[in-house]
Amino acid sequence: MRVLGVDPGLTRCGVGVVEGVAGRPLTLIGVGVVRTPADAELSDRLLAVEQGIEEWLDEHRPEFVAVERVFSQHNVRTVMGTAQASAVAMLCAARRGIPVALHTPSEVKAAVTGSGRADKAQVGAMVTRLLRLAAPPRPADAADALALAICHIWRAPAQNRLQQALALHTAHATKGRTA
């Protein structure tokens, strides 16, 4: 499974591609950051994020895109920019028919480090270890994008089984009402 992880942001949008399956060593395919100038117009910044993500999709051809689920922050301006960059990433994937998964920061931290309260240094250290890298990816947005991809690879099989079970349950429940 090849996954593009996206840590959304307007100034720095972390992107990272990881390949592998749960229970086996993972492979780093690529990592980077799509940057936009803070003084540029919002529309131009969103366009730059879109162009950057499209380049990553063209170059690496992921089967899935994992995006950090935007959560409430104290700074409304920051959360709005993050949400807009997140929407751009989802749109780019949807345009190509690539499934998108949203993962919360605590879910990603728990998957990669074992603790949903891990700090950025702990996430970076575990990403470095799991992908057998010489040093943690910089900036932290890049490491976070890789952590998102790793989280998705590890959690996708269980999530798929859960969705199938729910669909089966719903089908049986609906069938029982119509019989």
Q: Which positions are catalytic?
A: 7, 68, 141
CB 49 within 8 A of CB 82: no
Helices (H) and strands (E) in the chain, counts: 5, 5
Side-by-side strand order, sheet with 64-68: 27-35, 12-19, 2-7, 64-68, 100-103
Query: Is residue 32 classed as helix, strand or coil in its secondary structure?
Result: strand
CB neighbourhood size of 119 (10 A)? 12
> How is residue 138 written in tokens?
């910089």
C-alpha to C-alpha distance for 82 and 128, rounded to whole angstroms: 25
